[in-house]
Amino acid sequence: DAGVIQSPRHEVTEMGQEVTLRCKPISGHDYLFWYRQTMMRGLELLIYFNNNVPIDDSGMPEDRFSAKMPNASFSTLKIQPSEPRDSAVYFCASSGGEGAPEDQPQHFGDGTRLSIL
Amino acid sequence: AQSVTQLDSHVSVSEGTPVLLRCNYSSSYSPSLFWYVQHPNKGLQLLLKYTSAATLVKGINGFEAEFKKSETSFHLTKPSAHMSDAAEYFCVVSERNSGGYQKVTFGIGTKLQVIP
C-alpha cells in the first residue's frame, strides 16, 4: 500500500492568497483526519470525516479554513485568505479496517510544510 | 471525558541506558491506547497499540508499554536507548463516542534526547 499521500510537500505563498492542501487516504479506510502542528501549539486536530461526512470540525480555527471530502479517496483543506499565523505543518491521517473503530491506529502522511509570507 | 497527560515534555538519556516515557490517561470507557513516534521532518509512525488484550504490549524497535488500569497509565519503555531513538513520542487514547464514532486525543508529546 502506498500509505497516505499528501501534496504538496512544501508550499510558500504570500499573505492573502488561497492555499489548498490535498490528501489521498489509504484505500479502504473510512476515517480521515486533518491536523496542524506548530512549535507553539503542538499537534492540533482540525477536523475529521467518517465515510466522507464531517463529524467534528470544532478544531477548525476560523471561517478562513474549510475542508471537503468529495469521495473516499480524496480530501482537501483550504485556507482563504491565508495569514502568516497559518504557517505550520499540516498532516492528514486515515484509519479504518476490520474491527472496532476505536482500535484502529491512524496512518499519517508526511505532511505539508506551509509558509505564509 | 477523555484526556492524555504526558508527564515529561523532555527526557534525556545516555545511549545504552533504559528509556521511560510516562503517560497517564482518563477515559469514560475502556479505551484503546497507542504510542506514536515522530522523527524530525517526518509524519507520525505507530510504535505500538493496546486494545484490551495482553496488558504488556510489544512494539517496533524494541519498545514496549504496559497498560495499568489501576494507575490509568500506559508508560513506554525500552531497555537500551539507541541514537536513532531520538525523536518525539506521542501517547494517544482512543474510544468510541456516544455517536458511535472514533474519538482520539493526543498527548502533547515527549522529546527524547539520546546522548552519545
* Each residue's pLDDT tens digit, A34-56: 999 998 888 999 999 999 999 99
pLDDT digits (tens, 9 = 90+) for B48-75: 999 877 889 999 999 999 999 899 999 9
B111 in reach of chain A (CB within 8 A): no
Buried b (16+ CB within 10 A) or exposed e, A97-111: eeeebbbbbbbbbbb
A45 in reach of chain B (CB within 8 A): yes
B-chain residues within 8 Å CB-CB of A55? 99, 101
**H-assigned helices in chain A:** none
Backbone angles phi, psi at A88, to 5 degrees: -175, 180
Angle at B12 (CA atoms; ends B73, A92), nearest 5 degrees: 65
Q: Which of B102, B103, B110 would you mutate first to test chain A, the one with the most A CBs within 10 A?
A: B102
Q: How far apart (Å, rounded) are the C-alpha atoms in residues A117 and B16? A: 44
- With a pLDDT cut of 70, the percent of chain B lying above it is 100
The grid cell for A107 is 496512518
Interface contact B51-A103, CB threshold 8 A: yes
